Structure 1
Amino acid sequence: MSIVRDQDHSNGAPTVEGTGIRVKDIAVAYEHSGCEPDEITQLYPDLSLADVHRALAYYYDHIDDFRSSSSEPASA
């Protein structure tokens, strides 16, 4: 699967194709909740480990976009 943007789902936020799971949600689980990638697959059974890594890679490749579009304060 790949990362897609669809205005009909998640307000156009990047999601893992075919799941509707937002890249941002995966990144939050990883960065802020401290979940390891294999734990994220338990939180989101529709994702494979490769999907999680793909989403995290997308997140880090576009991190400035995610941070600038977020209404949440950046954490240290």
Structure 2
Amino acid sequence: MSLVIEQTEPVPLAADSRGIVRVAGTRVTLDTVAQAFERGATPEEIVQQYPALPLADVYSVLGYLLRHQIEVAAYLDRREAQRRAIREDNERQFASQGVRARLLARRAPHSTKS
């Protein structure tokens, strides 16, 4: 029996309708795998943290990350900018200033004094 070496095995990554890259067949994002790996997690530890991921897919994705560092870094930078913009928009729309005072004021008529 001889070993067959495939030269073009596809990387199990797919972009969803919003352009978010996920490990194919899962909800786990490329961002998540990249961050875990950057924090020092081994492929086996990543699979323990995200059981939906097959170990072979994690190795394949990590190989892709290592071979395409510039492209992946650019993608992760864009995703971080998107997250920051969404956070800032939410903070503008739902200002947290005065929330505690409003909640306490709402609660005050219902509280009973001992």
TM-score by length of 2: 0.52
The equivalent residue for 1:48 is: 54
Does 2:64 correspond to 1:58?
A: yes
Does 2:23 correspond to 1:16?
A: yes
The equivalent residue for 2:13 is: 3
Q: Which has the higher helix share?
A: 2
Where structure 1 has 5 or more consecutive residues not aligned to the other structure, the ranges are: none
Is the alpha carbon distance of 1:13 and 1:62 closer, same or farther for their aligned partners in structure 2, counting shifts above 3 Å? farther
Distance 2:40 2:25 in 1: 25
Instruction: Give the CA RMSD over aligned residues.
Output: 2.0
- Tell me if the contact between 1:23 and 1:56 (Cα under 8 Å) persists in the aligned partners: no
Give the secondary structure class of the aligned counterpart of 1:26. helix
Identify the match of residue 28 of structure 1 among 19, 35, 48. 35
CA positional deviation for 1:64: 0.9
CA positional deviation for 1:18: 1.1
Larger RCO (CA under 8 A, 6+ residues apart) = 1
- Runs (4 or more) in structure 1 with deviation over 6 Å come to none
Greater Rg, structure 1 or structure 2? 2
Where structure 2 has 5 or more consecutive residues not aligned to the other structure, the ranges are: 1-10, 82-114
Number of aligned residues: 68
- Tell me if the contact between 1:5 and 1:14 (Cα under 8 Å) persists in the aligned partners: yes
